[in-house]
């Protein structure tokens, strides 16, 4: 049984944000679980708390004991200023997601953040502002990461995935226009599926945690 507050939380964020005692429909055993709502299949997904091992690092950022405890209890942990390979910065929150049986990461800041350098070339505050608004600028003395040779060219970041675009790709890029999402909520009958794991198992993380 879910309270109105718990149902609202699942509908808004997709996860319960905490731990709840749930009954395994197959074995009848009751255990503490992480709970999420899988919208595409309209299912409530549960996973025992001992089915996952909390990592020491997320995107190269070391987690302290307090952050690990928050994750273990079903909460969200802010991870800020993650350095990406394309010289942009990423910030968001990490949380346990029973749907993927792993730690998930959700970007909390939709605004693109550009580093002070692009491929080793220092950029001006004006260029940085243009790039963060997905505009195109000409940058001199960048270094090719493969050949290590210096070059100069037009640069911009795509507005959909924030990928770094250089030269012809930057000049011919057409920004992606998103369609407004339908936010109407529909009440439908839900089914539950319980993910069972006898003990924690280590596996390679799809988010490249290290």
Contact (CB, 8 A) for 131 and 114:
yes
The domain of 53 spans 4-110
Q: Are residues 14 and 60 in the same domain?
A: yes
Across the chain, which distance is largest between two alpha carbons, in Å? 66
Show the 3-state SS of 86-151: CCEEEEEEEEEECCCCEEEEEECCCCCEECCEECCEECCHHHHHHHHCCCCEEEEEEECCCCCCEE
Of 3, 6, 5, nearest in space to 16 by CA? 6
Q: List the beta bridge partners of residue 95.
A: 104
- Quick one: tokens of 36? 């999420």
Q: 């080793």: which residue's tokens?
A: 120
Q: How many CB atoms lie within 10 A of CB 131?
A: 24
Q: List the beta bridge partners of residue 118.
A: 121
Model pLDDT, residue 25: 63
184 domain residue, yes or no: no
Q: Are residues 94 and 118 in the same domain?
A: no
If pLDDT is split at 50, 70 and 90, which confidence band does 9 have? confident
Express each pLDDT in 113-139 by its tens digit: 788 889 989 999 999 889 988 899 999
Q: Are residues 99 and 130 in the same domain?
A: no
All residues at 6 or more sequence positions from 62 whose CB lies less than 8 Å from its CB, including other chains: 56
Q: What are 136-142's contacts with CB under 8 Å, separation 24+?
A: 136/170, 136/171, 136/173, 142/118
Contact (CB, 8 A) for 170 and 154:
yes
Express each pLDDT in 157-208 by its tens digit: 887 667 788 999 899 888 765 544 444 333 333 333 444 444 444 444 444 4
Q: Are residues 126 and 146 in the same domain?
A: yes
If pLDDT is split at 50, 70 and 90, which confidence band does 73 have? very high
206 domain residue, yes or no: no
**Torsion angle defined by CA atoms of residues 97, 99, 104 and 110, in that order, rounded to the nearest 10 degrees:** -110
75 domain residue, yes or no: yes
99 domain residue, yes or no: yes
Q: Are residues 98 and 131 in the same domain?
A: no
Could you give the percent of the chain with pLDDT greater than 70? 78
176 domain residue, yes or no: no
Q: Are residues 106 and 59 in the same domain?
A: yes
Cα gap 194→199, rounded to integer Å: 15
Q: Are residues 104 and 129 in the same domain?
A: no
Q: Are residues 9 and 56 in the same domain?
A: yes
Express each pLDDT in 92-108 by its tens digit: 888 898 888 888 887 76
191 domain residue, yes or no: no
Model pLDDT, residue 109: 58
Q: Are residues 89 and 155 in the same domain?
A: no
Of 65, 123, 96, 73, nearest in space to 207 by CA? 96
């Amino acid at each position: 049984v879910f309270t109105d507050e718990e149902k609202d939380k699942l509908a808004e964020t997709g996860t319960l944000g905490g731990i709840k005692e749930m009954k395994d429909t197959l074995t009848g055993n009751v255990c503490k679980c992480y709970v999420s709502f899988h919208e595409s299949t309209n299912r409530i997904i549960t996973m025992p708390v001992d089915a996952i091992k909390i990592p020491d690092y997320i995107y190269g950022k070391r987690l302290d004991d307090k952050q690990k405890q928050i994750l273990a209890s079903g909460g969200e942990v802010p991870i800020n200023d993650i350095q990406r390979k394309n010289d942009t910065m990423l910030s968001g929150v990490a949380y346990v997601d029973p749907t993927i049986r792993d730690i998930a990461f959700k970007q909390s800041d939709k605004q693109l953040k550009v580093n002070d350098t692009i491929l080793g070339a220092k950029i001006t505050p004006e260029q940085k502002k243009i790039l963060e608004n997905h505009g195109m600028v000409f940058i001199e003395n960048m270094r090719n990461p493969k050949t290590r040779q210096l070059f100069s060219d037009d640069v911009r970041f795509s507005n959909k995935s924030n990928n770094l675009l250089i030269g012809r790709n930057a000049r011919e890029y057409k920004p992606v226009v998103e369609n407004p999402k339908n936010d109407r909520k529909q009440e439908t009958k839900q089914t539950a599926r319980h993910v069972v794991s006898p003990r924690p198992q280590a596996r390679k993380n799809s988010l490249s945690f290290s």
